[in-house]
Amino acid sequence: MADQTNLPQPEWLNVSRETMDDLARFGALVTQWTARINLISPASIPDIWNRHILDSAQLFGLAKDGRTWIDLGSGGGFPGIVAAIIARELQPTWRFNLVESDQRKTAFLRKAAIELGLVLHLHATRAESLKQMKAQTLTARALAPLSDLLSLVDRHLEPGGRAILPKGARAQAEIDEARASWSFDLDVIPSRTDPAAQILMIENLRHV
């Protein structure tokens, strides 16, 4: 994938050719490692650029402040590594914390960071066990239902911060379930890469 020079660059992804090349290199690493460990579904590899890389990249533009950005359940690096690649060009002072309890996936994330020259912090533990991070931006992609995620958001997001949570077709049902226990401000953004998906932007979270 790193050798492909005609990967589609949507207008909203306003980055340099060098950043595009790094995103492609990362996609190639994911593809290579997925043959050994389950980073992504093998069936999604032919469409990795759209389904995983661009799907993650769209979250970057929704962050207000990434002085401390925490990505929970980073898995194969989506969106954490993708966001860190983009930030190196557009927001070089932002700091990324990737949380992943699977040791094999953590090994991959460490390898990817080294090969791409990224400076980030890896936490090989569960988000429930991690000290409070007081992050300005929190992401979690395909980690857990919203009602379960919000306790982690409450733990790790500082007051005034924003959680950016991609969700699929059940987004509204998850929102309704979560509101039984939580109060929050919510903006729902249609996904740029999947017409059935939405991105939940949550602020001012309070337990009720």
pLDDT, tens digit, 9 for 90 and up, residues 48-59: 999 999 999 999
51, two tokens: 């389904």
Q: How confident is the model at residue 5, as a pLDDT?
A: 52
Mean pLDDT of 23-30: 97
Q: Would the pLDDT of 39 be above 90?
A: yes
Report phi then psi at 54, rounded to 5.
-65, -35
Mean pLDDT of 20-44: 95
90 half-sphere exposure, CB direction, 13 A CA radius: 19
Report phi then psi at 84, rounded to 5.
-65, -35
Mean pLDDT of 73-101: 97
Q: How confident is the model at residue 85, as a pLDDT?
A: 98
CA distance linking residue 155 with residue 151, whole number of Å: 6
**H helical segments located in 65-102:** 80-90
Contact criterion met (CB below 8 Å) for 115 and 89: no
Contact criterion met (CB below 8 Å) for 122 and 106: yes
Contact criterion met (CB below 8 Å) for 156 and 135: yes
Residue 142 confidence class, pLDDT cut points 50, 70, 90: confident
* pLDDT, tens only, 109-121: 999 999 999 999 9
Q: Would the pLDDT of 3 be above 70?
A: no
Residue 143 confidence class, pLDDT cut points 50, 70, 90: confident
3-state secondary structure of 118: coil
Nearest to 112 by CA among 139, 66, 165, 74: 74
Which residue matches tokens 């912090």?
Answer: 121
Q: How confident is the model at residue 66, as a pLDDT?
A: 87
Output the pTM of the full model. Answer: 0.95
Domains of the chain: 17-207 (3.40.50.150)
Contacts of 150 (CB under 8 A, 6+ apart): 178, 181, 182, 184, 202, 205
